[in-house]
Amino acid sequence: MAAVDSFCLLYREIARSCNCYMEALAVVGAWYTARKSITVICDFYNLVRLHFIPRLVSRPDLIKQYGRWAVVSGATDGIGRAYAEELADRGLNIILVSRNREKLQAVAQAIADTYHVETDILVANFSQGREIYGPIREALQDRDVGVLVNNVGVFYPCPQPFAQLSEDGLWDIININMAAASALVHMILPGMVARGRGAVVTISSGSCCKPTPQLAAYSASKAYLDHFSRALQYEYSSKGIFVQSLIPFYVATGSPDGFLHKCSWLAPSPKVYAHHAVATLGISKRTTGYWSHSIQFLFAQYMPEWLWVWGANFLLRSFRKEASSFVA
């Protein structure tokens, strides 16, 4: 009995001495909970502000805001073509840049006929390196380029370890994903600065959020584009230039048999994605461009890296299976 009384007395003394620490921990916990709650509320507000409110108001005049011509690289398929069509629908004249002349001519003619704007084409194979940029610079030097869309990019032939990637594939990622955007910005940005207006849109990827195994070089190249755009925004926003980093997640550009293609809200078509993404131009300097992608981005930001890696490996295994079955 004496031992029990002694234990109770000891417990009361310890509780009394720790009471101040418990109060401090309670304050810290309340502060952390309040901070996270405010962050969630702000994220939800930004989601509504970016992806829903712009659809309720009149569309801004992009020609007056930025300029008459838009340059879109990688413009014959997917997001690039859809983005060019969306800008043409806003009245901008379009310069399409890609490596296939026949495709460029067909897309340029289709845009001109549908949206009644001027179009022009520049044939450029960005995998060839530095020598291709001289003719591009000469062709653009007298144009009032108000919007530059850096969309051109190359993906892995299939998800694989870095050492299995061919040397040609590695240099294509460097020359097309990183060097092309850097060189185009370098030649077009001075004219925008001289005119005191312009917009640079660089399309990165959701894979830039965290290190992505089986896509090491690709995800790193997209992280470069994201950091490059964000740095440019800090450098040139005071000069009237709006620089936007677009971070799309999965967009349904490939075979319609994939499992993600069945979830249109999760993986929008290029046309739907571009319609939403252009609506964020001038509003957000860093965005996914689409409402469900923004939700995915928030989860990616808050999830631990090991969970991101596990999810990436699961999805990439699925893509490999789909690709192998499609080839078969």
CA dihedral over 98, 100, 105, 108, signed as positive or negative: negative
Q: What is the pTM of this model?
A: 0.83
Closest listed residue to residue 271, CA positions, set 50, 103, 77, 71: 77
Number of domains in the chain: 1
Which one-letter amino acid corresponds to residue 3? A
Give residue 3's Cα distance to chain centre: 67
Point out the residues that are catalytic.
218
Q: What whole-number distance in Å separates Cα of residue 187 and Cα of residue 139?
A: 11
Query: Contact, 242 vs 281, CB < 8 A?
Result: yes
Domain contains 245: yes
Domain contains 32: no
Q: pLDDT tens digits, residue range 85-128? A: 999 999 999 999 999 999 999 999 999 999 999 999 999 999 99
Strands (DSSP E) contained in 2-82 are 69-73
Closest listed residue to residue 243, CA positions, set 223, 259, 221, 228: 228
- pLDDT band (50, 70, 90) for residue 178: very high
Domain contains 85: yes
Closest listed residue to residue 150, CA positions, set 88, 218, 98: 98
Q: Quickly count: other Cβ atoms within 10 Å of residue 92's Cβ.
A: 23
Phi-psi region of 316 (alpha: psi -120 to 50; beta: other; left: phi over 0): alpha
CATH of the domain at 252: 3.40.50.720
Q: pLDDT tens digits, residue range 315-327? A: 777 666 655 443 3
Domain contains 40: no
Query: Contact, 242 vs 199, CB < 8 A?
Result: yes
Question: Domain range spanning residue 130?
Answer: 49-323
Q: What whole-number distance in Å separates Cα of residue 197 and Cα of residue 282?
A: 11
Domain contains 186: yes
Domain contains 283: yes
Instruction: State the pLDDT at residue 48.
Output: 77
Query: Contact, 91 vs 68, CB < 8 A?
Result: no
Domain contains 34: no
Instruction: Give the residue with greater pLDDT, 49 vs 186.
Output: 186
Instruction: Give the residue with greater pLDDT, 3 vs 206.
Output: 206
Domain contains 68: yes
Query: Contact, 148 vs 70, CB < 8 A?
Result: yes
Instruction: State the pLDDT at residue 327.
Output: 35
